Amino acid sequence: MNLAGWIGSFLGDIRYALRQFVRNPAFTAVAVVSLALGIGLNTAIFSVINAALLKLLPARNPNKLVMLTDPGSSLLLDGLQTGVRKLLSYAEFVQLREGATTMSEMCASELLLQRWPVRVSGGPREEARGRLVTENYFSAFGIEPAIGRFFTQQDGTGAGKDPYAVISYDYWQRRFGGRATVLGTPIRFFSTTVVVIGVAARNFRGETVGQDPDLWLPMMMQSAVMPGMDWLHENSLMWLHVFG
């Protein structure tokens, strides 16, 4: 078949398909919706894979980072075993950190992204998304601040004794207009006030894909910003991801 004949046959097939669609509107709707869902699903899957697998975590030596688990223990959820336990208690983290011989540094991050009611500089109540992390979190990932400094292991001398916050670059731009005067800004959590001491690097949004914290707080501030809860001494509570 020559080119002209092939084009004629192709156009004929299109006309036939259009006539069938007009005669069967229900089928046409189902076909269009199915095609749209298929394209959307594939796009979403690629976006997740691209973020989780193709784009490396913006950290120093990301290929050397590992998540610690308890291979001898299963995580129970609704009475069912869900595989190797990937969450650890704070006591387990401390034990692993003190006994580590093959890792240069170890840090922990809260599983959940908290939504805290806060007051910035005495203003009205607003919501900020945040996460508790160990005091060496940023140094372990090799992150540099955009401005200011990060809290460090030397700051974590005891529960409630390092009332600091590090905010994300996006939150700095969105909430504070990117002003350098953000350093020293007081943020009120319930009956506790912390001050902003640093802004994270522009491309750092934490270690969990899809969760973008506005700020990070030192682990030692847990009971201060979560009144009535003492997760640092609750050995049966598994709430941390631990990285080395």
Side chain identity, residue 7:
I
The predicted model gives 80-92 an average pLDDT of: 76
Q: For the chain, give the percent of residues with pLDDT over 70.
A: 71
- Rg of the chain, C-alpha, whole Å: 25
Question: pLDDT at residue 46 above 80?
Answer: no
pLDDT digit string, tens, across residues 104-151: 899 999 999 999 999 999 999 999 999 999 999 999 999 999 999 999
Other CB atoms within 10 A of residue 78 CB: 5
In whole angstroms, give the CA distance from residue 192 to residue 186: 10
What pLDDT shows up at residue 221?
96
CB 119 within 8 A of CB 189: no
Strands 192-199 and 70-77: what pairing?
A: unpaired
pLDDT confidence band for 20 (50 / 70 / 90):
low
Burial pattern 44-73, b for ≥16 Cβ within 10 A else e, equals eeeeeeeeeeeeebebeeeeebeebbbeee
pLDDT confidence band for 42 (50 / 70 / 90):
very low
Question: pLDDT at residue 33 above 70?
Answer: no
Token digits for 168? Answer: 């994300």
Other CB atoms within 10 A of residue 3 CB: 7
pLDDT confidence band for 174 (50 / 70 / 90):
very high
Residue 221 three-state SS:
helix
**Closest listed residue to residue 109, CA positions, set 63, 61, 59:** 59
User: Which residue has better confidence, 79 or 23?
Assistant: 23
Q: How far apart, in Å, are the Cα atoms of 188 and each of 119, 127, 182, 185, 197?
A: 5, 11, 15, 10, 14
**Closest listed residue to residue 231, CA positions, set 132, 152, 161:** 132
Q: Which conformational region is residue 3 in: left (phi greater than 0), alpha (psi within -120 to 50 degrees), or beta?
A: alpha
CB 93 within 8 A of CB 240: yes
Element (H, E) at 95: helix 90-99
The predicted model gives 191-208 an average pLDDT of: 94
pLDDT digit string, tens, across residues 141-166: 999 999 999 999 899 888 999 999 99
Side chain identity, residue 193:
T
The predicted model gives 25-49 an average pLDDT of: 50
Q: What's this model's pTM, rounded to 2 decimal places?
A: 0.74
